Structure formats: C-alpha cells, structure tokens
Amino acid sequence: MKLRRLIKCICSLFTLKRKTPKTVMVIFPGFGLYPKDYEEILPKDVHKIYLNIWTDNELQTILDGIRLKTIGLPGTTSYEEWFTKLVNQSKEKIVSEMKKYGYTLPKTIYFGHSVGTEIAQRLLEHADGIITYGGIVKGDCLVKTKNLLGTDDKIATKFYESWPKNAFPIEKANHFSCVSEVSKRRSIKWRKDLGIPAIYETQHSDDKRYIIKREIEWFVSSFV
C-alpha cells in the first residue's frame, strides 16, 4: 500500500508539472501600486505572474538615492542604472515562474500600467502580446499591442503634445481608473513623498468608476 501511494504521489507531481495553462498574464504595476490592485479589471480564469516592483523597501531605496544623489532624474545615467535594476529583477521573476512549465510555454500576455509599461517594453522578447493602460508602448513593436488611455488622464497625456495615434481612448477615464481609490491613494502618497508635483484629475462617482472599470475589463479580456 505504501509503495502504491508513493507511485501515485510521484505521478501526480509529474502531471502537475506538465499541466501548462493556455495563457499566462504578467502584471507590471504602475508607480506605487501593487500588482494585485488590478484584479477588478483582469480575467479571472487566466494564470497570472504578479511582479511586486513597488515595495516599501523600494520607496526607501529611491528616497535614499535622491538624498545621496545616486538616483537622478529620468534621462541621467544614475536613473538608467536604477531602472535597469528593476527591469532585471522583473526578468528574473518571469523566468523563474516560467521554469515551472518546462519546455512547453504558455501564451504570455503582459499588462502594464503607467511606468510599469516602460519596464514591460524592455522585456517584450518574453511576450506574445502586451496591453497597457496609462502608458504607451513606444516605437515599432513586434508583438500584438493594445494601448488604452483615459481621455481625462492628466499624468500620462502631459508627455504628449497631441493624442498618441496608437492609443485607444477610454472616455472620461483618468490615470487611476484601473484601480481602487485605496490603491490610488498609496501611489499619490509615494509621489508626494518624492516631491513630485501634484496633478489633479477629474473625480468620478462610484457608479461612474464602476462603468469605466467594466469597459477596461472588457478590452483586457478581449485582448487576452
């Protein structure tokens, strides 16, 4: 009996390792947000790899870097070194998770929000597609791409003189319409702690936020 149970256990483990999901989503959160903050807009029946990039320790790293002048403004060498570290950490997490599936890899779709999109774009060699919100994939992209952008997004649109031609508009949505108000407050606190000037966006009622989230959810599900 013991031998039979052992064989059964080994067989079940082998089966689990071989059971590869059809699709996996990799979640690249926006600045100061957790990857699970997006659960409301993501498909429920799809396996996910959550990249917990913006930890409290990372905030302290940034604060120390600014104070010691080891992390500069975007475009500086020190900023690029710090950002590359985040990219490499994300890559290690993705590779580690994908090893579980052996040689048969699932279709891999990235979801990126805001600055998370920039990290995701540097790792597109591991993806079959990418859908974004509040962040635009720049340049020519060799994988299937869908960029969603709220028409009331004051954070992302400030980087563009006109509406990006490769962005699909989500009417009346702001930069944080893809997450809850609680999640939004954490991100805004991070921005305040770092001395980033406040940007004020249109505030919606609970009913309006719900409608916008359902629209974003529909686009994400359709893409996946």
φ, ψ of residue 196 in degrees (nearest 5) = -75, 130
Q: What is the pLDDT of residues 29-58, one digit of tens each?
A: 999 999 999 999 999 999 999 999 999 999
Category of 195 on φ-ψ map: left (φ > 0), alpha (ψ -120 to 50) or beta: left
Could you give the domains of the chain?
20-223 (3.40.50)
φ, ψ of residue 152 in degrees (nearest 5) = -105, 20
Residue that wins the pLDDT comparison between 114 and 4: 114
Average pLDDT, the chain: 90
In this model, does residue 13 exceed pLDDT 50?
no
106 contacts 25 by C-beta, under 8 angstroms? no
pTM value?
0.88
Lowest mean pLDDT of 78-87, 132-141, 179-188, name the range: 132-141
Query: Residue 145 — very low, low, confident or very high, per pLDDT cuts 50/70/90?
Result: very high
User: What letter would DSSP give residue 171?
Assistant: T
Query: Residue 106 — very low, low, confident or very high, per pLDDT cuts 50/70/90?
Result: confident
Look up tokens 């969603």; give the residue: 148
Look up tokens 């991070």; give the residue: 190
Between CA 150 and CA 176 the distance in angstroms is 9
β-pairing, 107-113 vs 129-133, is parallel
Residue that wins the pLDDT comparison between 23 and 141: 23
In this model, does residue 182 exceed pLDDT 60?
yes
Nearest to 115 by CA among 34, 51, 29, 27: 29
27 contacts 50 by C-beta, under 8 angstroms? yes
Nearest to 41 by CA among 115, 133, 119: 133
Nearest to 215 by CA among 168, 160, 157: 168
Amino acid occupying residue 17? K
Look up tokens 């003189």; give the residue: 161
